[in-house]
Amino acid sequence: MTADTTPMVVADQVCKNFGALQVLKGVSLEVARGEVACLIGPSGSGKSTFLRCVNHLEKVNAGRLTVDGDLIGYRERNGRLYELSPKEAGRQRRDIGMVFQHFNLFPHRTVLANVIEAPVLVGGASKEKATERALSLLDQVGLRSKADAYPAQLSGGQQQRVAIARALAMEPKLMLFDEPTSALDPELVGDVLEVMRALAADGMTMLVVTHEMGFAREVADQLVFMDGGVVVEKGDPREVLSNPQHERTQGFLSKLL
């Protein structure tokens, strides 16, 4: 059997507007299977909106967006596009994990309950099976001992690692991260990046919006620079970081240093 070479994510001229505000103005990029792509760019450039389109939280207005070969949000029949029903969209979305800047854990549930919620309610797993897997995922993020704690009893970094375990509980084929360490105290950033690094080494396909250039340089296979709703430049992270080709990339990177 040959390996599936369909890219995991393909965006082809993806456009998104909110009323008169055009936010994505033709974003094109590809993320291969097993690849880690880091998405960088100034605030307001449309990075979150793009991730939200991939994860069905927004609908694209034009262009094509596919995950694992499936058109996101629409079904194509006889050359026409039909919007997916919420149920169909939900089915696609199950395979995509997302981690947000502000963790978004359920505050009144324990760590374990947070992690097993989706597999049991959405995935139809038995509570026993889901618990077994959740404990192993908590092990993976170094937090098995916190299974019975509540989110408020954890540090931000620990909460974010629980959020990663929760996203992994649905066995996603793609993981999206939207500035996962931006809300953390500096001393807590490393542990979260370590978990993400291990996940990458394990072969997970990841699309990561981040300002952590060290992570991008060391872990990403591809660095994508967005500005003003378009991809300005993309390529090998070391190349882009050390030798940016576009003035806008140069300007952005020089402000980070």
Instruction: Enumerate binding residues for ligand ADP (CB under 6 A).
Output: 18, 21, 23, 41, 43-49
160 binds Mg ion, rule: CB under 5 A: no
Please give the C-alpha separations between residue 64 and each of 6, 14, 15, 75, in angstroms, as whole numbers. Answer: 15, 6, 9, 11
Quote the Cα angle for 178-183-184, to 5°. Answer: 115
Residue nearest to Mg ion (CB): 48
Minimum distance from residue 112 beta carbon to ligand ADP (Å): 32
C-beta of 51 vs 162, nearer to ligand ADP: 51
Pairing between β-strand 62-67 and β-strand 70-71 as defined by DSSP bridges: antiparallel
Q: How far apart are CA 162 and CA 51, in angstroms?
A: 20
CB of 182 to Mg ion, least distance (A): 9
Distance, CA of 157 to CA of 11 (rounded, Å): 31
- Could you tell which of Mg ion, ligand ADP, none binds residue 23, using a CB distance below 5 to 8 A set by kind? ligand ADP
Contact region for Mg ion (CB under 5 A) — 48-56, 82-90, 109-117, 147-155? Answer: 48-56
Applying CB under 5 A, the site for Mg ion has a residue count of 1
The answer to whether residues 223 and 241 touch, using CB atoms and an 8 Å cutoff, is yes
Which of Mg ion, ligand ADP, none has residue 18 at its interface (CB below 5 to 8 Å by kind)?
A: ligand ADP
